[in-house]
Amino acid sequence: MDAEHETIRRIVGGDSRQYGVLVDRYKDRAFALASRLLGSREEAEEAVQDAFVKAFHRLADFRGDSRFGTWYYRILYNICMTRVSRRPAGSLSLDDMTSTEGELAVESNEPDSLEVISSNERREILGEELQKLPQKFQAVLTLFYIQEQRYEEIAAILEIPLNTVKSHLFRARGLLRKRIQDRYNEGMRAA
DSSP secondary structure of 18-78: GHHHHHHHHHHHHHHHHHHHH--HHHHHHHHHHHHHHHHHTGGG---SS-HHHHHHHHHHH
- The fold adopted by the segment(s) 1-88 is Rna Polymerase Sigma Factor; Chain: A (1.10.1740)
DSSP string covering 65-106: SS-HHHHHHHHHHHHHHHHHHTSPTT----TT-S-HHHHHHH
CA 144/CA 158 separation, integer angstroms: 12
> What is the pLDDT at residue 191?
67
Q: Where in the chain is the domain with CATH 1.10.1740.10?
A: 1-88
Q: Is residue 98 left, alpha or beta, with left meaning phi > 0 and alpha meaning psi from -120 to 50?
A: beta
Closest Cα partner for 141 from 181, 170, 112, 178? 170
Q: What's the whole-number average pLDDT of the chain?
A: 79
User: How does residue 185 score in pLDDT terms, banded at 50, 70 and 90?
Assistant: confident
Q: Give the mean pLDDT of 81-104.
A: 51
User: Is the confidence at residue 115, as pLDDT, over 70?
Assistant: no
DSSP state of 17: G
The percentage of the chain sitting over the pLDDT mark of 90, rounded to a whole number, equals 37
pLDDT digits (tens, 9 = 90+) for 131-153: 888 888 988 988 888 788 899 99
The percentage of the chain sitting over the pLDDT mark of 70, rounded to a whole number, equals 81
Q: Give the mean pLDDT of 62-79.
A: 90
User: Is the confidence at residue 186, as pLDDT, over 70?
Assistant: yes
Is-above-0.75 flag for pTM? no
CB contact burial 112-151 (16+ within 10 A = b; e otherwise): eeeebeebbeeeebebebbbebeeebbbbbbbbeebebee
pLDDT digits (tens, 9 = 90+) for 18-67: 999 999 999 999 998 898 888 889 999 999 999 999 999 999 988 888 88
Closest Cα partner for 127 from 108, 152, 102, 149? 102
User: Is the confidence at residue 116, as pLDDT, over 90?
Assistant: no
How many CA atoms lie less than 13 Å away from 145 in the CB half-sphere?
14
- The fold adopted by the segment(s) 133-191 is Arc Repressor Mutant, subunit A (1.10.10)
146 three-class SS: helix
CA 179/CA 50 separation, integer angstroms: 33
Position with higher pLDDT, 68 vs 105: 68
Q: Where in the chain is the domain with CATH 1.10.10.10?
A: 133-191
Q: Give the mean pLDDT of 6-26.
A: 92
> What is the pLDDT at residue 110?
40
Position with higher pLDDT, 136 vs 107: 136
> What is the pLDDT at residue 25?
92
